[in-house]
Structures are given as structure tokens and as C-alpha cells.
């Protein structure tokens, strides 16, 4: 019996790609390099700063250069965190219905606390999340099971009574690693190389409200 639904953030609940892309393009402009089109940025938005930096600067960056660019990218993004970020259509209706049914909901993301502590309260969720676990809350990120277990401990619900919803392979791996029912969202951020049909999600959905039929 499902008692809680836990979600990834970027690409699952919130469309953050335009703000992440704006930060990348500002950094590229500072370096005298051409901007990347949104069509190239969106698929990479779930791959974190390093994925976006490889898109803009190439995959041959050495570790020191990557880290220097990453710090600057994070600062630019931090200063413009929620200019165009929005919830995906149907997310708030889903959350309101979960609450009506007496189900807890929460967030487990690889996004740093530096951002989630400001972004999550700013997003217009119908009901605040019962728990937010960031990529650095427990010192490791998904697909490691520890963020998942920390979230379930915080809400007092066993993993087998939780559903985890995400848009990346690591989301499905993390949920499966702790025995949660896993859901893949088809509106998320996928690269051409991704093979979501091979990730082993229990369910895939095309719209947030479709989740209600699986509870």
C-alpha cells in the first residue's frame, strides 16, 4: 500500500531548464564562446552543472578547468535562480489530490541545498513537501540509496510503502535500490542517447495526473 509519493525536482516537478541554460549561456558569453540553443540545453538539464558545461565547453575539459567553470556557473545560476522556472502542468493538481487522499509527498533531488532551500519554498506548491532531501543533505547523491532512506526516515514511512517519481536513470535505480515502486515521467529531460525503456521503471506516465490511477 502506497502511503507517500516522493519526487525528483528538475525535469519532474519543475521545469528549470531555461534558468540553467541562461546561466550556461552567460558563462559562455564571458568566455567568448557561442550560446547554446534551448533545444540542446533542455535534454542536458538533468545532468547537473558538469553535463551542461560539457555541452558548452566540450567533453575534454580537465578537472581543474571543469571545477573553475563549475564554481562560476553555480554563482551565476544562484543569482538568477527562478527567473523562468515553473511547475509542470498538472503537478499542483496532483499534489492537492495526494493530500486529499492522505498521502505524504516529498522531494529527493541531486540539486544542492544551496539552491533547494530557496527554490522549493518559492515554487507555488499547493501543499508544502513533508521532506526535502538535496544532493548534499547526507553527503551522497542518487543513485546511492542513502538519500532515499533518509527521506523515508524523516517522514516515518517504510520505503516499500513509497513511490518514487523521476525522469533520469539514476532516479529509477535509486528507487529500486530501496524497494520503492518507481515511476518514469515522459515529460522529463532526456538526451538522444538515453534509453528509458531499459531503465526498468514499474510505471511510466505522460501527465502528472495519470499517477493517480496507479495509487
CB proximity list for 100: less than 8 A, separation 6 or greater: none
Q: Which residue has the cell 538519500?
A: 147
- The grid cell for 2 is 502506497
How far separated are the first and last CA of the chain, in Å rounded? 8
Contact 157, 163 (CB under 8 A): no
Name the residue among 61, 89, 65, 75 with its Cα closest to residue 26: 75
Q: Which residue has the cell 533542455?
A: 42
Catalytic residue, from 10, 15, 19, 171: name it.
10
Contact 36, 58 (CB under 8 A): no
Assess whether the previous peptide bond of 143 is cis (omega < 30° from 0). Answer: yes
Q: Is residue 10 flagged as an active site residue?
A: yes
Q: Is residue 8 flagged as an active site residue?
A: yes
Catalytic residue, from 8, 15, 167, 171: name it.
8
Residue 96, phi-psi category: left (phi > 0), alpha (psi -120 to 50), beta (remainder): alpha
172 three-class SS: helix
* Residues that are catalytic: 8, 10
Amino acid at each position: 500500500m502506497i502511503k507517500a509519493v516522493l519526487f525528483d525536482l528538475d525535469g519532474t516537478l519543475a521545469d528549470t531548464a531555461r534558468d540553467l541554460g541562461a546561466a550556461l549561456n552567460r558563462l559562455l558569453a564571458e568566455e567568448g564562446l557561442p550560446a547554446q540553443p534551448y533545444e540542446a540545453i533542455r535534454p542536458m538539464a538533468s545532468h547537473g552543472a558538469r553535463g551542461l558545461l560539457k555541452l558548452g565547453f566540450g567533453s575534454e575539459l580537465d578537472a581543474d578547468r571543469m571545477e573553475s567553470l563549475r564554481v562560476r556557473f553555480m554563482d551565476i545560476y544562484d543569482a538568477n535562480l527562478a527567473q523562468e522556472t515553473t511547475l509542470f502542468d498538472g503537478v499542483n493538481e496532483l499534489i492537492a489530490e495526494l493530500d486529499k487522499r492522505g498521502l505524504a509527498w516529498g522531494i529527493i533531488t541531486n540539486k544542492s541545498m544551496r539552491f533547494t532551500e530557496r527554490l522549493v519554498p518559492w515554487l507555488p506548491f499547493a501543499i508544502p513537501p513533508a521532506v526535502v532531501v538535496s544532493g548534499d543533505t547526507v553527503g551522497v547523491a542518487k543513485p546511492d540509496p542513502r538519500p532515499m532512506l533518509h527521506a523515508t526516515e524523516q517522514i516515518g514511512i517504510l520505503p516499500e510503502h513509497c513511490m518514487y517519481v523521476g525522469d533520469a536513470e539514476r532516479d529509477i535505480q535509486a528507487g529500486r535500490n530501496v524497494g520503492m515502486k518507481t515511476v518514469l515521467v515522459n515529460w522529463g529531460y532526456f538526451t538522444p542517447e538515453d534509453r528509458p525503456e531499459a531503465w526498468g521503471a514499474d510505471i511510466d506516465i505522460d501527465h502528472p495526473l495519470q499517477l493517480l490511477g496507479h495509487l
